[in-house]
A = this chain, B = another copy of it.
Amino acid sequence: MKGANVIKVLIAEDQSLILGALAALLDMEDDIEVVARAVNGKDALKLAADTSPDVVVTDIEMPGMTGLEFAQALKEKQHPAKVIIVTTFARPGYLRRALSAGVKGYLLKDAPANQLAEAIRKVKDGGKAIAPELATEAWDADDPLNDRERQVLRLAGEGLTSGDIAKQLFLSEGTVRNYLSEAIGKLGASNRIEAARIARQKGWL
């Protein structure tokens, strides 16, 4: 549990207070050493190259580059570090995207505090650590929206009218209404507001 056997960890988290607190939590473990901290994905990418951590712990929602994009980038660079996502959001869509980015762990912020260290050890040894409440329902539904529907729905969720959306996407208003109608149908909603809410909650944005 010492010397060369220490697990080197990089933490990425945009809320500094949480970042510091997580670091303090992990530093209490004998076999874990926090070798670097980053407040966004870009910094994390650079620091990962410099400090070659064994495991990266990252949030998802960060300004600039999200944790998911960061994991994707690490994978493309064939960096050997294992990635663990720690997030507030139990959204199946997030987990799916995370897994296809090669992420090895996905924990929720309301998991017990000791699970983080456990997950790090497990992942370091080649295992996986997925939050149990998500492991099962991850595959309950695929994102049924296509790109246009997603774009239109996102803008509708901001409060734009069909006409506004049409102008922004260079479509006719009728077409926008058609896409919205499609999306509402696919999501089982009864209007654009509910549809946007559902899509957001599932992580389909």
Once the chains are docked, how many angstroms separate the CA of A19 from the CA of B24?
12
Cβ of A141 to closest chain B Cβ, rounded Å: 18
Instruction: Annotate A150-177 by CB proximity to B: 1 below 8 A, 0 otherwise.
Output: 0000001111110000000000000000
Number of copies: 2
A-side interface size class: 35 or more
Q: Does A178 contact B (CB under 8 A)?
A: no
Q: Cβ of A113 < 8 Å from any Cβ of B?
A: yes
Q: Give chain B residues whose Cβ lies under 8 Å from the Cβ of A111.
A: 16-17
Task: Flag A81-121 by CB within 8 Å of B: 1 or 0 each.
Answer: 00000101000000000000000000111111111100000
The answer to whether A1 has its CB under 8 Å from any CB of chain B is: no
Of A22, A116, A161, A190, most buried by chain B (CB within 10 Å of CB) is A22
Are A193's CB and B113's CB within 8 A? no
Complex CA gap A194/B195 in Å reads 15
A123 and B86 alpha carbons, distance in the complex (Å): 31
Q: Assess A86 versus B159: contact at CB under 8 Å? Given A24-B24, A25-B24, A193-B193.
A: no
In order of increasing CB-CB distance, the 8 nearest A-B pairs are A20-B113, A159-B194, A21-B21, A159-B193, A15-B109, A24-B25, A21-B25, A24-B24
